[in-house]
Structure 1
Amino acid sequence: MTQAVGRSRVVGDYVVGKRIGEGSFSVVWHGRHKVHGTEVAIKEIAMLRLNKKLQESLMSEIFILKRINHPNIISLYDIIQVPGKIHLVLEYCRGGDLSLYIQHHGRVPETTAKYFMQQLAAGLQVLRDNNLIHRDLKPQNLLLSQNDEKSVLKIADFGFAR
């Protein structure tokens, strides 16, 4: 259920804030839980724009995210369907993605790179243990819990995963 409260848009139990990203078929919004105040990312997908193959990819992504629970894999908190749209309520990563981190920090020290790569390896190991492959690993799909060298790296965007 999507509704407006005051000047804010509400999706399920979440107040929708500013736009924080977009893809070919989705827009990602910053959100907060109405009661707890928990920050989330709300990925809004226009189902009418998805062909059958893309709808299958979305269902696969949802299945994977529901199945995997690991600190280095983005968490799916909720799925909210409204006519023509589906909203994936995801863990919010304040640090943005790895490509932004590299842009802002320039050359990444070896210790920081090693720290991030160990986390990437841990996330990939969990996928492998579950017979899954991501198929679209790139800095834009590696999110950071915060914007510093102690950030937790999280693998995101499982649209091409199998």
Structure 2
Amino acid sequence: MEPYKIPAQTRIGHVHLKVADLDRSLGFYRDLLGFEVTMMYGSQAVFISAGGYHHHIGLNTWQSKGAGPADPRSVGLYHTAIVYPSRKDLALIFNRLYTSNYPLTGASDHGVSEAIYLNDPDGNGVELYWDRPIELWPKQSDGSLDMYTKALDIEDLLREINE
């Protein structure tokens, strides 16, 4: 598989995840999704980013080394949302996941955005998406948002790769 570097315009908030195995998590976040390591914090934590920022995601095993995934029915993080700068970038990462046979948990069109859902190796939810331009967001008659959840048209999304 060819190297992949996540686009520098990708924006997410800072999130710090407890993981069971740092190398396994790096295989997902660095090697598959394309984040870059900015700093190793000993052998128990790593900070990763897109575009050279100090870190968008921290991964640590301070209290979780070797632990199993959190119970999905308990409180905690639902998912980390990673915003891609364009629909083509979303198509490229979808294609990368597909060709890697990485399992997805969903793919949706929300009107304001298109999203792909999956879990990282520790069972943490991850949403990969792009926002449509604000002028295309669906609105109700009073001007408020009219978001929805429909199946994502994957074939149409993949056409972005060749355009």
TM-score (norm 1): 0.31
Greater helix share, 1 or 2?
Answer: 1
